[in-house]
Amino acid sequence: MIIGAVTTVQSALQVLFSREQIRHRVAEMGREIDRDYAGEKIVLVGVLKGAAIFLADLARSISVDNTFDFVAVSSYGKGKNSSGAVKLIKDLDQPIEGKNVILVEDILDTGLTLHFLRNLLEQHQPKTVRIATLLDKPSRRLEKIEADYVGFTIPNHFVIGYGMDFAERYRNLPDICLMPEDAGAPAGH
Ligand code: PRP
């Protein structure tokens, strides 16, 4: 019954990137990372929760020796009155000193989250820190930060699926879909 319900929701949504497009692009990103880190080891650091599904697929597209870790930050609200302050609520489990780290995100929006996390990780003296994001919304940027690996660059759409939520729902949709405007979605994700 659950599968039927998901199908019904998804069939009413406009697909921005299909599961096939995502699979193809994530495979390309994996090959880019393999080329850049040939002979090296990497630590993939996913930012919970949105990046979990992308990290799972990206990791399986990568052949170089890799391990996973996860961090979580408090949601800073993103409303008009938000302070924009980001707080770490789950730290790394393993030390990253001297290691090649790739921060893995589902979406780079204002840049507040990744700006905070990159600065934080750099304090642990890793060998390198790079950023892989599936989606990039450069028009929303408030911090000067760019990803090294970008799946798709998009305008300011509110997107759901493939890890991304609206009020914690829809993360399990296999495609990336547009949140209907009449559903009350805010401007950014
Ligand atoms: C989303 C996304 C990034 C962040 C990007 O997380 O996963 O972590 O927003 O936005 P920014 O560039 O404006 O900082 P969200 O707060 O929605 O939490 P989630 O990952 O648990 O869905």
180 within some domain: no
Domain that holds residue 47: 20-156
Q: How far apart are CA 1 and CA 172, in angstroms?
A: 15
Q: The domain spanning residue 89 has which CATH number?
A: 3.40.50.2020
57-116: pLDDT as tens digits? 999 999 999 999 999 999 766 654 456 789 999 999 999 999 999 999 999 999 999 999
169 within some domain: no
Residues near ligand 1 (Cβ within 6 A): 47, 49-51, 75, 105-113, 165
56 within some domain: yes
Residue nearest ligand 1's atom 16 by CA = 75
Q: What is the dihedral of CA 86, 92, 95, 101, to 10 degrees?
A: -70
Question: What's the domain count of the chain?
Answer: 1
Q: Pairing relation of β-strands 176-178 and 14-17?
A: antiparallel
141 within some domain: yes
* Closest ligand 1 atom, residue 47 Cα: 8
24 within some domain: yes
Residues with catalytic function: 109
**CA 113–ligand 1 middle distance (angstroms):** 7
